[in-house]
């Protein structure tokens, strides 16, 4: 939910800075089935049926959803600044894979956000005993006193920055074109 709110805010900023949101209609996304499948798998194990499968099956499904997301990202690598958001996804995947399929979450962050520390069934973010790569986990929070209270990670921040940068690149936002030049990697060596 935080990502969608962040994207809506980014769209408002891009439009206010002269970007053409109408350009979004011309984007040809590839691999749509992969991203729909990834979202469907996550919804299945986290929301629809968190108690339906043994934990090992839940974690396998959760990790498989990231595999489908990788297929989608690769298919759309032509989009401007997609690599920034992909880096955020890779950071999240590293933390999740290192902890047996669950995103490690800080108990302090969960409590600050008003989220339960103990869960029944599979959750995509929970306290993990002796977490590996804990600093990449959900260690930040939006306090429960604010709308959209939740926990989030460094990877989530990179996902949001990447999505905003991609949106700005697609919409041709002239006031932040310098950002696009900074974020666009130059993989071509200069010719002499």
What pLDDT score does 175 carry? 61
What is residue 109's three-state secondary structure?
Answer: helix
What is the pLDDT tens value at each position of the chain, 192 positions in all? 677 888 888 888 888 888 888 999 999 999 999 999 999 999 999 889 888 999 899 999 999 999 999 999 999 999 988 999 999 999 999 999 999 888 999 999 999 999 988 878 888 889 988 999 999 999 999 999 998 899 999 999 999 988 888 888 899 876 665 555 566 655 444 554
- Among candidate residues 157, 153, 147, the one with its CA nearest the CA of residue 128: 153
- The model's pTM is 0.84
Tell me the C-alpha distance between 171 and 36, whole Å. Answer: 24
Q: Residues 151, 110: contact at Cβ < 8 Å?
A: yes
E-state strands within 15-138: 103-104, 125-126
Tell me the C-alpha distance between 177 and 179, whole Å. Answer: 5
Kindly write down the DSSP assignment for every residue of 125-171, as one continuous string.
EE--TT-TTGGGSB-EEE-TTSTT-EEE-HHHHHHHHHHHHHHHHHH
Tell me the C-alpha distance between 114 and 18, whole Å. Answer: 38
């Amino acid at each position: 939910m935080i990502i969608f709110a962040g994207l809506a805010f980014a769209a408002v900023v891009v439009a206010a800075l002269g970007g053409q949101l109408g350009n979004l209609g011309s984007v040809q996304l590839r691999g749509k089935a992969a991203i729909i499948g990834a979202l469907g798998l996550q919804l299945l194990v986290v929301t629809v049926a968190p108690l339906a499968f043994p934990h090992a099956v839940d974690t396998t499904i959760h990790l498989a959803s990231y595999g489908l997301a990788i297929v989608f990202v690769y298919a759309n690598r032509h989009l401007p600044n997609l690599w920034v958001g992909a880096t955020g996804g890779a950071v999240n995947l590293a933390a999740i894979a290192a902890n047996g399929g669950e995103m490690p979450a800080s108990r302090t962050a969960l409590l600050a956000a008003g989220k339960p520390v103990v869960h029944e069934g599979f959750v995509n973010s929970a306290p993990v005993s002796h977490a590996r790569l804990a600093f990449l986990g959900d260690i930040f929070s939006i306090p429960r006193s604010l709308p959209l209270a939740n926990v989030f990670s460094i990877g989530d921040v990179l996902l949001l920055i990447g999505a905003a940068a991609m949106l700005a690149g697609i919409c041709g936002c002239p006031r932040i074109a310098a950002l696009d030049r900074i974020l666009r990697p130059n993989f071509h060596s200069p010719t002499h």
